[in-house]
Amino acid sequence: MKRKFSYTILFSALFATIVAANMLIFDKEPPSIPETNEPDYTYLSKYTPLSHFDHHFREAADTLQYDWTLIAAIAFTESRFDSTAISAAGARGVMQMMPKTMRGMEIPDSLHMDSRTNIMAAAELLASLEKHYRYISNPDERLNFVLAAYNAGFGHINDAMRLAHKHGKNKYRWNGNVDSFLIYKSLPEYYTDTLCRNGEFKDWKQTLSFVKKVRRHWKRFSKRQEEYSDSIKELILTDSTKRIMQ
């Protein structure tokens, strides 16, 4: 019994040979099989972004015993996260550092507006102020003095502390004590006192406001981080199919 010749098989073999030869002649790759895409996942960062400088704030916080959101709160209060800001007094950058202070840290003028340098310099200043007021045992109270000195300079804050002590107030407490005598340093009968080594201080409103604003923004930023952390915990508990970036 003779087998029937299959023209279909012959034609298929001939076509395959032509295609293979064409690939060799023109050095072409055979068409690839499309890959199956992974299903979409929801990626979550491990904190809520506050600014474009968060990575610098977090790096700077490594040198301090502060929450990184506190440094962010100082930056927001000082410049609203504006790295190009220059105040009327000459303070520069996102942390509003004074050129004189940065030169004292041996930072060249060309880097004064560099965001990372500006933030790290501020962190160094905060660390030095923390050390300066280490004798104030209550850390929450000590923070008030550190913030006030960051804004006004520790010389004026130290003058106010000496005046508070002289007039029977607690020189280790800010509210209702040292802050009042920082105000009095705008009056001749106080800033001419021999205890005042840094003379008159007119910008007390700015300093008192600065301390309050930083604390308010810090509380808000910290709460935002806590709420986000709680939402991630809830997500993990309720939906194990989500991929979480830790």
CA pair distance 117, 163, nearest whole angstrom: 36
Coil, strand or helix at 11: helix
CA pair distance 58, 71, nearest whole angstrom: 8
Close Cβ partners of 161 (under 8 Å, ≥ 6 residues apart): 171, 172, 178, 181
Give the helix ranges, DSSP H, for 133-187. 139-152, 154-166, 179-184
CA pair distance 8, 219, nearest whole angstrom: 79
Q: Looking at the DSSP assignment, which residues form a beta bridge with residue 86? A: 92
CA pair distance 183, 148, nearest whole angstrom: 12
Count of Cβ atoms closer than 10 Å to residue 212 Cβ: 15
Catalytic residues: 78
Close Cβ partners of 186 (under 8 Å, ≥ 6 residues apart): 200, 201, 202, 204
Q: Among 50, 112, 120, 124, which Cα is nearest to 83's?
A: 112
Consecutive H or E run containing 246: none
Cβ atoms 77, 87 nearer than 8 A: no
